[in-house]
């Protein structure tokens, strides 16, 4: 399909959404047909495929187990514990039913919440699918979250059951989970009825009598259990997932059943070009939305094998991902720009040492993909690199290129064009007026209703859902992404940064992304973050923190200062003096969460002499300490 044909496909999706989504609904099995495609009478709340009953687990597992029982479904590889397991669809079907029977034994029923606090192990996927099977609502919390963050989520979700493990492992270091969970349960006001523990033998732990149950002991008792799927009305809740980096009360994104299944099935076909019998490899974690959509549910809905990886991208060496691609004949891969920038610090020969002939494309998302990183990985792999932009709230891509529909070429620095179903607009934040001309900077919004698969509301707080995300104008509702963007003459969008990360320097609005792209293009820079810092004269100034390819250069004051001057000149030449950072601090590492997201808020707070706040999710506390020392000096 050409670019022109995709445009026609997209236009139909927004001009005749009822007809369009009725056709896409045929991609999944329905137990009872729906009687209405979309009910938007209570805008901005949308209800999709009203009256239809279905089940996520049936569509992801059962129907494939019936048709292709011996085909691979879940491939688990752990370089941390040096283990690998492959489950066929028939075996996955059996394990999910066993887990479902155990959940029922522990009192879990339809509509109950189950909080999953686990490392990247097969039992985590079994637990998610088992919840979907019996109509329980799962809430996965990223494994290793600190106790107070976990306690907040327990109090908000109020689970009947918590499922956890003795420990995870990262970089060969055991990370005990049970002490963190026990402390969280002591802190939380809500008391779950039971805790189910998967013991990997990595860390000894204490069982709490009457509350804690051993998965290995219960498994044989239910190994042959037959647990039928519970047929759920399309708009019943499938799961809640808390957005990362929130302050105060956690914000639980609430997802439906039918709309999510249809949206993911369509995205696997049209966006990722995933085909039954092939293998999909997402390097994310189940604690984040990419893990939900494109480790567990999406690939299985498409009848693909999903590769679930526990380990780092550089151990045992920086070629491990590509070795896995070659060994398991991966056709579609999904990762993050941060991970690629980590690989960029290693020998590029790792990119060409393995047979990657099966791989059709590498998709990247999670944060803006800068041009130098995109060019490096594209040239190294010799494969299409497809950026894509979306959010926890939407559950599937807003902007990208639909590889199953078009061979349109990606543009470096752009995630692509709007995906079918999304009525994307750029608006003036003050007037709310739509910006029609190319190259105008505006706030990226989506006219309601949001397409299937997006959040229904914020768990337990409809007012917060409306107040946080929506604005009404001219009788229409607009969902705010909180991101600044511009659109070029060909309709490609460029994300410039969060609306609250836009720097206002002496009345000039500058996106942090633009400055970061400029600095990261210097051959000495491996990674960079730019934040706006309060300034008495200009209101704000930009401040940059750069990780260099050569650590010795950063450690030598004279060399670091000389580089800073070079970077200033680069910004002057490309963006103008108004965009020049006040300082470029050369640091050993940037502070990130365990999922790889930069803690820009913490950097800004430190630069302004403020408390950086909750740092429970930080991967390496020493990175922040080093930056504090730099700023003091």
Taking only the tens place, the pLDDT of each residue in 76-125 is: 999 999 999 999 999 999 999 999 999 999 999 999 999 999 999 999 99
To 10 degrees, what angle do helices 178-187 and 147-157 make? 60
The DSSP result for 241-302, as a single string, is EEPTT--SS--EEEEESHHHHHHHHHHHHHTS---TTSEEEE-S-TTSHHHIIIIIIHHHHT
pLDDT at 511: 74
The conformational region for residue 557 under phi > 0 = left, psi -120 to 50 = alpha, else beta, is: alpha
Rounded to an integer, what distance in angstroms lies between the CA atom of residue 572 and that of residue 518?
A: 10
Which superfamily does CATH assign the domain made up of 3-311+388-481 to? ANL, N-terminal domain (3.40.50.12780)
**Distance (Å) of CA 466 to CA 455, 456, 457:** 12, 11, 8
**Mean per-residue pLDDT, 46-71:** 98
pLDDT digits 0-9 by tens, 391-434? 999 999 999 999 999 999 999 889 999 999 999 999 998 888 99
CATH homologous superfamily of domain 502-632? ANL, C-terminal domain (3.30.300.30)
Is 291:52 a contact under the CB 8 Å cutoff?
no
Q: Tell me, what's the pLDDT at 563?
A: 93
Who contacts 476 (Cβ-Cβ below 8 Å, separation ≥6)?
447, 448
The rounded distance, in Å, linking the Cα atoms of 517 and 413 is 9
Share of the chain above pLDDT 70, in %: 96
pLDDT tens-digit map of 279-315: 999 999 998 899 999 999 999 999 999 999 999 999 9
Query: What's the pLDDT band for 245 if we cut at 50, 70, 90?
Result: very low
Kindly report the pTM of this predicted structure: 0.86
Tell whether the model's pLDDT for residue 1 goes beyond 60: no
One fold for both 3-311+388-481 and 502-632? no
pLDDT at 577: 78
Could you write out the three-class secondary structure of 106-174?
CCCCCCCEEEEECCCCHHHHHHHHHHHHHCCEEEECCCCCCHHHHHHHHHHHCCCEEEEECEEEECCEE
Domain boundaries, given as residue ranges, for the chain: 3-311+388-481, 502-632
Per-residue pLDDT band at 602 (split at 50, 70, 90): confident
**What ranges make up the beta strands (E) of 422-475?**
423-427, 442-447, 457-458, 470-473
CB 476 within 8 Å of CB 271:
no
* CA 120/CA 167 separation, integer angstroms: 10
- How does residue 507 score in pLDDT terms, banded at 50, 70 and 90? low
**pLDDT value of residue 575:** 75
DSSP state of 627: H
Category of 236 on φ-ψ map: left (φ > 0), alpha (ψ -120 to 50) or beta? beta
- As a whole number, mean pLDDT of residues 331-339 equals 93
What digits encode the pLDDT tens for the residues 348-406? 999 999 999 999 999 999 877 888 889 999 999 999 999 999 999 999 999 999 999 99
Residue 441 has pLDDT above 60, yes or no: yes
CA distance 53 to 236: 9
Angle at 272 between CA 268 and CA 273, to 5 degrees: 85
Q: How far apart are CA 286 and CA 274, in angstroms?
A: 20
Q: Is the dihedral of CA 394, 122, 343, 613 positive or negative?
A: positive
Over 90: is that where the pLDDT of 341 sits?
no
Q: Would you state the pLDDT for residue 144?
A: 65
Confidence of residue 271 (pLDDT cuts 50, 70, 90): very high
pLDDT of res. 246 = 36
- Pairing mode, if any, of strands 212-214 and 232-233? unpaired
Q: What is the pLDDT of residue 247?
A: 41
Q: CA angle 439-385-437, nearest 5°?
A: 10
């Amino acid at each position: 399909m050409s670019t022109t044909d995709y445009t026609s496909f997209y236009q139909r999706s927004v001009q005749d959404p009822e007809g369009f989504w009725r056709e896409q609904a045929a991609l999944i099995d329905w137990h009872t047909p729906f009687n209405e495609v979309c009910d938007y009478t209570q805008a901005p709340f949308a209800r999709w495929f009203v009256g239809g009953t279905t089940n996520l687990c049936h569509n992801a597992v059962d129907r494939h187990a019936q048709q292709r029982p011996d085909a691979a479904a879940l491939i688990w590889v752990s370089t941390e514990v040096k283990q690998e397991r492959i489950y066929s669809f028939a075996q996955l079907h059996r394990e999910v039913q066993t887990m479902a029977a155990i959940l029922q034994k522990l009192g879990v029923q339809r509509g109950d919440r189950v909080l999953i606090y686990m490392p990247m192990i097969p039992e985590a996927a079994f637990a998610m699918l088992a919840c979907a099977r019996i109509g329980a609502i799962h809430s996965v919390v990223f494994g290793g979250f600190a106790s107070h963050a976990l306690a907040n989520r327990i109090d908000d979700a109020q689970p009947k059951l918590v499922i956890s493990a003795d420990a995870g492992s990262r970089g060969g270091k055991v990370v005990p989970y049970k002490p963190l969970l026990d402390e969280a349960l002591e802190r939380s006001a809500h008391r779950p009825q039971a805790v189910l523990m998967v013991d990997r033998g990595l860390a000894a732990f204490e069982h709490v009598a009457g509350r804690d149950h051993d998965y290995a002991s219960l498994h044989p008792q239910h190994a042959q259990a037959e647990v039928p799927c519970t047929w759920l009305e399309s708009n019943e809740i499938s799961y809640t997932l808390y957005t990362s980096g929130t302050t105060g009360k956690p914000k639980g994104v609430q997802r439906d059943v039918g709309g999510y299944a249809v949206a993911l099935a369509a995205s696997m076909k049209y966006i990722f070009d995933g085909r039954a019998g092939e293998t999909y490899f997402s390097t994310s974690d189940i604690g984040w939305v990419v893990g939900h959509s494109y480790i567990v549910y999406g690939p299985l809905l498409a009848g693909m094998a999903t590769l679930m990886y526990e380990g780092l991208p550089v151990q045992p060496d920086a070629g491990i991902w590509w070795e896995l691609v070659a060994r398991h004949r991966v056709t579609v891969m999904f990762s993050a720009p941060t991970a690629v920038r980590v690989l960029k610090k290693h020998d590029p020969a790792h990119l060409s040492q393995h047979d990657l002939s099966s791989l059709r494309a590498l998709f990247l998302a999670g944060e803006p993909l800068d041009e130098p990183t995109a060019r490096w990985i594209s040239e190294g792999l010799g494969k299409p690199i497809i950026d894509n932009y979306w959010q926890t709230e939407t559950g599937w891509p807003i902007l990208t290129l639909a590889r199953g529909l078009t061979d349109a070429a990606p543009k470096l620095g752009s995630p692509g064009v709007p995906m079918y179903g999304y009525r994307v607009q750029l608006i003036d934040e003050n007037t709310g007026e739509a910006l029609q001309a190319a190259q105008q900077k505006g706030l990226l919004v989506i006219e309601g209703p949001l397409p299937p698969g997006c959040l229904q509301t914020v768990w337990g707080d409809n007012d917060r859902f409306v107040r946080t995300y929506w604005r009404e104008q001219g009788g229409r509702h607009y969902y705010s992404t909180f991101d600044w963007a511009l659109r070029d003459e060909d309709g490609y969008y460029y994300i410039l940064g969060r609306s609250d990360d836009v720097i206002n320097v002496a009345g000039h609005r500058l996106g942090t992304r633009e400055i970061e792209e400029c600095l990261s293009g210097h051959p000495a820079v491996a990674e960079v973050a730019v934040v706006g810092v309060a300034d008495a004269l200009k209101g704000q100034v930009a401040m940059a923190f750069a990780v260099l390819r050569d650590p010795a250069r950063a450690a030598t004051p004279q060399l670091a200062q000389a580089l800073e001057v070079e970077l200033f000149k680069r910004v002057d030449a490309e963006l103008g003096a108004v965009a020049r950072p006040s300082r470029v601090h050369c640091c050993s590492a940037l502070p990130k969460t365990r999922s790889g997201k930069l803690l820009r808020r913490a950097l800004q707070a430190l630069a302004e002499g403020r408390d950086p706040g909750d740092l429970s999710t930080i991967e390496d506390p020493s990175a922040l300490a080093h930056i504090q020392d730099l700023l003091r000096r």
